[in-house]
Structure 1
């Protein structure tokens, strides 16, 4: 699969602070990538470096096949890394006409992109009358005017209400379905899990994981259990090869699987051992649980 962006051992220091620490990953064409991490993890700094607005300290990156200068490569990139900045007393359409002039794009693209973001009917409304979500959608339309090969978004749903968040996420999915590669930075696990095919997890500038979202959450999951004899249940779980970590909170036992086992098979086994379950739920680990595991492992390494 064709590479869009390759980052090798990238480091950025601000005085004594290391914002990005020896970071490497590759963005492949046609996927939706999320850079996931809490505030201060190095997400925005990484985007700033590859967009030539922040100078790197060491390491390197290249766009596409590596034979294109960053200046020329960025002509094929659409990006929103700051709050939308348009003229308040001009309409959405007039603002996009200015962007077309700057990018050397034909005005005929404007209606097409406004349609994608659901603003075609409001194209003659002044920007100052737009809601925060509409302003963000106009910014996405602006970033799409040059038909970029990759769209870069920094915290695209930050500050939006639930409806605005849903609209932006649906637009991102729609753009990705048309074949545009997307790279978005977010501190929201839910956002990455719902929108992205791949994820790079950062914490304090350090990469904890890079790969597909499906692979990250492809553990065998866990059982939530309640029964008539908790001590016998725990003993059985501790001596069963299919179970690893076991967590007890009150009368609820959470047993994490190390290999696949069906709930009906497991229930039958317990019944034969005289353990009657009053509660049995089988769940898959969420991205949040996997993220917490990764950060917990890093904490243990640093202790």
Structure 2
């Protein structure tokens, strides 16, 4: 697998505060990576370091094969890490022409990129007439002008209404489908679950998980149970090899599976043990539940 970005034991301290601690992960070509974590978890700091706008304290990172200087590598990167900043009284086309001059890109790219983000019909409208979602989409068009190998987005749907959020996510999926690698920072689990193939979960600058999104949520799910012989059922579950954890709240027993099991097989087994259930629901864990488990396990 061709790597685009490799981060090794990266640490960033702001005085007494450690924003990123001993962080390592690799981004391979052709995937959509999410850096997921609550505000203050070190997402933006990490992006700032690899984009050369924040100095690292310790550790290292390299772009592509490691033989390219960061300055040259960044010519193959498209990034939006702050709110879109264009000239309000200039049209979308005029603003993008300026970006083309800075990046040394031919003007012929402008219409192509505006079409990708759904703004071709509004290319002669002034930037100040754009909605927040349109401004964000223009920023994405601007970041795509140099046909980057990787597109980096920091909280791309922040502050947008539901329609704007949906449009940005669809655009990200379309760009990824054409082979561009994407790295996005987000505090929204829903966003990562819908858009990303891989996720790095951060909390207070520390990596809690790194890997495929589908592997993170490939748990075997859980049963929600109620019965009149509660104590006997809990004891049986705690001694059963198929269950990793049992939780009890308001007489609802949640039993987490460590291997696949069908609800009808489970029900039959309990019946043979003399336990009749009054409630049985089988559920799959969402990314949110996995995330909460991860962050719970790493409270200290």
TM range (shorter): over 0.9
In structure 2, the partner of 1:95 is 95
Q: Provide the C-alpha distance between the structure 1 equivalents of 2:229 and 2:126, rounded to a whole number of angstroms.
A: 67
Query: What is residue 131 of structure 1 aligned with on the other side?
Result: 131
Query: Which residue does the alignment assign to 1:287?
Result: 287
Match of 1:70 in 2: 70
* 1:187 equivalenced with 2:193 (yes/no): no
Q: How many residues align?
A: 300
Q: Which moved more, 1:241-250 or 1:195-204?
A: 241-250
Superposed CA deviations along residues 126-166 of structure 1, whole A, max 9, x for unmatched, are 11111111110110011001110000000001111111111
User: Within 1, Cα distance between the matches of 2:294 and 2:240?
Assistant: 25
The answer to whether residue 37 in structure 2 is matched with residue 40 in structure 1 is: no
Aligned to 1:234: 234
Alignment partners' CA distance in 1, 2:289 and 2:278: 25
Matched, 1:198 2:198: yes
Give the structure 1 partner of residue 118 of structure 2. Answer: 118
Q: Shift of residue 240 of structure 1?
A: 1.9
Alpha-carbon deviation of 1:60? Answer: 0.9
> Distance between the aligned counterparts of 1:100 and 1:130, measured in 2?
21
Tell me the CA shift for residue 97 of structure 1.
1.1
Q: Measure the CA separation in 2 of the matches of 1:253 and 1:162.
A: 36
* Aligned-pair Cα RMSD in Å: 1.3
Per-residue deviation at 1:228?
Answer: 4.4
**Residue equivalent to 2:147:** 147
Q: Give the drift of 1:227.
A: 3.3
Work out the CA distance in 2 between the residues paired with 1:116 and 1:280: 47
- Structure 2 Cα separation of the partners of residues 7 and 188 of structure 1: 23
1:211 aligns with 2:220: no
TM-score for both structures, normalised by structure 1? 0.95
1:109 aligns with 2:109: yes
Classify the secondary structure of the residue corresponding to 2:298: helix
Distance 2:279 2:140 in 1: 47
Q: 2:52 — aligned with what?
A: 52
Gapped regions of structure 1 (runs ≥ 5) = none
What's the offset of the Cα at 1:3?
0.4
Displacement after TM superposition at 1:125 (Å)? 1.1
Tell me, in whole angstroms, the C-alpha distance in 1 between the residues paired with 2:274 and 2:124: 72
Distance in structure 1 (CA, Å) of the matches to 2:183 and 2:213: 14
**Aligned with 1:255: secondary structure?**
strand
**Does residue 167 in structure 1 map to residue 170 in structure 2?**
no
Q: Distance in 2 between matches of 1:30 and 1:113?
A: 19
SS at match of 1:52: coil
CA shift at 1:41, angstroms? 0.8
Q: TM-score, normalised on structure 2? A: 0.96
How far, CA to CA, are the matches of 2:237 and 2:208 in structure 1? 30
- Deviating more after overlay: 109-118 vs 237-246: 237-246
Structure 2 stretches lacking a partner, 5+ long: none
Distance 2:269 2:159 in 1: 50
